[in-house]
């Protein structure tokens, strides 16, 4: 009885969080994001529909010569405009996402940003899907339309308890490419603490419209002088004692952080992957709008 009661209470808390995020993000979706989202994330243009016999007035450039030769009668290819999109959130739920020194963790920030984008997609009548991964794919939610489905995606982002702690971005992208046959807009959300990313990112970006959302926290960029402190790697469990009063330690940490950031920027730029840097200590609205504006300029 007690276990059932605890599960019921937890379910109520998750539903409350989902509802809170929906209310909180509604104005952003309606007043800020929806129009800009629609302008930069459009359908793929036209899609093959069928082959039919040639009729007077048809464009001869659409003649299907293979079918024409096989049947002995001229046939043309017919195309239809495809207006809707498939949007998939490929989200890193490894242990490093539980870190946060402001009013939210990196994982909570990721969930909120995905909620804004998911509701924008649903408002645009797009399909929304979800892949949650650590060093293995932990959950896959196939793309569907509708508010109820979007709420399910947000609930999974908030409530899911992964079985592993580490990160394998190449494995997640390989899975993405295998389960998604059609081209999709893919938001890859991670803190990108990983190696050997160039080839899998390049392959995914060729098959899909890949957008990297890098999620961080201010304390990952600089250390506050606070004396001797224990730092634990959430994914490996390694614990290190650090003297944060030591200026050389702080400068070394900040330099390593800047270098990691610069290497990620260089990697994304070299592959023409759109990317946004998000932080638990800053508003994400400005960064998302910058993404939309940059994409709009290229159209």
Which pLDDT tens digit goes with each residue over 105-156?
A: 999 999 999 998 998 888 888 999 999 999 999 999 999 999 899 989 988 9
Q: Is the pLDDT of residue 51 over 90?
A: no
Q: How far is residue 85's CA from residue 117's CA, in Å, rounded to a whole number?
A: 13
126 assigned to some structural domain = yes
pLDDT digits (tens, 9 = 90+) for 229-239: 877 776 777 88
Query: Where in the sequence is the domain holding 93, given as residue range(s)?
Result: 84-298
**Mean of pLDDT values over 29-40:** 71
**Distance from C-alpha of 225 to C-alpha of 231, rounded to nearest angstrom:** 14
**Both 206 and 72 in a single domain?**
no
Shared domain for 69 and 91, answered yes or no, is: no
Q: Is 62's pLDDT higher than 90?
A: no
Cα of 65 vs its chain's centroid, Å: 41
- Structural domain tally of the chain? 2
Whether the model clears a pTM of 0.85, i.e. scores above it, the answer is no
Q: Same domain, yes or no, for 65 and 133?
A: no
Looking at the fold, whether 177 and 251 belong to one and the same domain comes out as yes
Asked if 46 and 77 touch (Cβ cutoff 8 Å), the reply is: no
The DSSP 8-state label assigned to residue 56 in this structure reads T
Model confidence pLDDT, tens digit, residues 195-226: 789 999 999 999 999 999 999 998 888 888 88
Residue 293 lies in a domain: yes
Residue 158 and residue 208 share a domain:
yes
Both 123 and 212 in one domain: the answer is: yes
Domain assignment present for residue 276? The answer is yes
Domain membership of residue 19 (yes or no) is: no
- 207 in the same domain as 69: no
Reported confidence tier of residue 81, pLDDT bands at 50, 70, 90: very low
In a domain, 175, yes or no: yes
Residues 74 and 139 in one domain: no
Answer yes or no: is 22 within a domain: no
Is residue 8 over pLDDT 80? Answer: no
Whether residue 166 is contained in a domain is answered as: yes
* Residues 6 or more apart whose Cβ sits within 8 Å of residue 144: 127, 128, 129
Is 186 in contact with 176 (CB distance < 8 Å)? yes
Does 280 fall in a domain? yes
The whole-angstrom separation of Cα 160 and Cα 22 is 18
Closest CA to 213 of 83, 103, 111: 111
Residues 6 or more apart whose CB falls under 8 angstroms from that of 256 comprise none
Q: Which residue in this structure is represented by tokens 């908030």?
A: 158
| 194: its two tokens | 């990983």
Going by DSSP bridges, is the β-strand pair 274-279/239-243 parallel, antiparallel, or unpaired? unpaired
The enclosing H or E element of 175 equals helix 169-179
């Amino acid at each position: 009885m007690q276990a059932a009661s605890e599960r019921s209470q937890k379910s109520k808390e998750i539903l409350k969080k989902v509802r809170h995020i929906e209310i909180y993000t509604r104005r952003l979706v309606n007043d800020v994001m929806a129009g800009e989202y629609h302008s930069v994330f459009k359908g793929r243009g036209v899609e093959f529909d069928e082959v039919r016999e040639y009729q007077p007035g048809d464009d001869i450039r659409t003649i299907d010569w293979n079918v024409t030769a096989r049947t002995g009668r001229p046939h043309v290819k017919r195309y239809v405009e495809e207006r809707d999109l498939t949007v998939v959130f490929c989200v890193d739920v490894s242990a490093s996402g539980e870190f946060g020194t402001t009013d939210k963790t990196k994982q909570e920030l990721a969930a909120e940003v995905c909620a804004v984008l998911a509701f924008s997609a649903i408002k645009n009548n797009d399909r929304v899907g979800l892949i949650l991964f650590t060093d293995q794919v932990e959950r896959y939610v196939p793309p569907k339309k509708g508010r109820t489905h979007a709420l399910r995606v947000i609930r999974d982002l908030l409530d899911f308890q992964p079985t592993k702690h580490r990160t394998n971005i190449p494995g997640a992208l390989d899975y993405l490419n295998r389960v998604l046959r059609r081209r999709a807009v893919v938001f890859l959300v991670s803190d990108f603490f990983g190696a050997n990313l160039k080839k899998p990112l390049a392959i995914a970006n060729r098959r899909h419209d890949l957008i990297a959302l890098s999620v961080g926290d201010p304390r990952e960029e600089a250390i506050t002088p606070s004396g001797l402190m224990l730092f634990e790697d959430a994914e490996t469990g390694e614990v290190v004692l650090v003297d944060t009063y030591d200026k050389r330690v702080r400068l070394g940490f900040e330099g390593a952080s800047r270098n990691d950031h610069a290497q990620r920027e260089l990697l994304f730029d070299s592959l023409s992957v759109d990317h946004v840097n998000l932080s638990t200590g800053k508003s994400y609205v400005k960064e998302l709008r910058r993404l939309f504006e940059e994409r709009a300029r290229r159209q």
